[in-house]
């Protein structure tokens, strides 16, 4: 079973997890689980964002939304509402 996203610690009780949408610029994290709309989840996978991969928050847009994200050499922009389905572990 996939972990229940949005409930920190759903998968690995004891490991503190947070939502990607709560991270600040400069933070690095490891992806624990990806949930959300099927189309969004699939697109994230296609961009090479898999469970276990590392992401870095590069910037927040002027009004605090959307987020700029870096995975390897790929940079993505996604809205906070879209990032809220991604559970991460800050590294």
Partner 1 sequence: MLTKTLTVALVGNPNTGKSTLFNALSGLRQRVGNYPGVTVEMKKGHFFTGNTTISLIDLPGTYSLAARSPDEMVAVDLLLGRRPEEPRPDVVLSIVDATNLDRHLFLTCQLLDLGEPVVVAVNMMDAAAAQGIKIDCTRLSSLLGVPVVPIQANQGVGLDQLTAAICDAAESRFEPTGPVFPQQFNEEVEKLQDELGGEVSQFLTRRLLLDVGGYVEQWSLQLHGEQLKTSLLEARQRLAEAGTPVPAVEARTRFNWVREIVAAAVTKPRTRPITWSDRLDKVLTHRVWGTLAFLAVMFLMFQSIFLWAKPLMDQIDGLREWVAGSVEASLSPGPLRGLLVDGVIKGVGSVLIFLPQILILFGFVAILEDCGYMARAAFLMDRLMSRCGLSGKSFIPMLSSVACAVPGIMAARVIENRRDRLATIVVAPLMSCSARLPVYVLLIGAFLKEGYSVWLPGLVLFGLYMIGFVVAPLVALLLKRTVLKGETPLFLMELPAYRRPKLFAVIRRMLEAGWAFVLRAGTIILAAMILVWALLYFPYTDANGTPYSERIAAIEAAPDADSAEADRLRGEWMRGSYLGRTGIALEPLFRPLGWDWKIGMAAIASFPAREVIVGTLGLIYDVGDVDTGAIGDETADEDARKKAEGLAQAVKSDWASDPVRGPYGVSVALSVMVFFALCCQCASTLAVIRRETRSWAWPAFTFAYMTILAYFAALVVFQVGAWLTDLLKGPV
Residues near partner 1 (CB under 8 A) are: 1-2, 34, 37-48, 50-51, 58-66, 68, 72-79, 82
CB of 43 to partner 1, least distance (A): 5
Q: Cβ 39 to partner 1, closest distance in Å?
A: 6
Most distant CA atoms of the chain, gap in Å? 38
- Which of 16/85 has CB closer to partner 1? 85
Nearer to partner 1 by C-beta: 16 or 24? 24
* Least Cβ distance, residue 70 to partner 1 (angstroms): 8
CA separation for the pair 16, 14 (Å, rounded): 6
Q: Which is nearer to partner 1, 27 or 68 (CB)?
A: 68
């Amino acid at each position: 079973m996939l972990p229940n996203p949005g409930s920190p610690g759903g998968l690995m009780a004891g490991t503190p997890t947070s939502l990607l949408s709560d991270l600040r610029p400069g933070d690095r994290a490891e992806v624990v689980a990806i949930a959300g709309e099927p189309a969004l989840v699939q697109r994230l996978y296609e961009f090479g964002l898999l469970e276990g991969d590392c992401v870095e928050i590069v910037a927040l847009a002027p009004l605090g939304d959307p987020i700029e994200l870096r995975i390897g050499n790929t940079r993505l922009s996604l809205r906070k509402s879209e990032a809220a389905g991604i559970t991460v572990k800050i590294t």
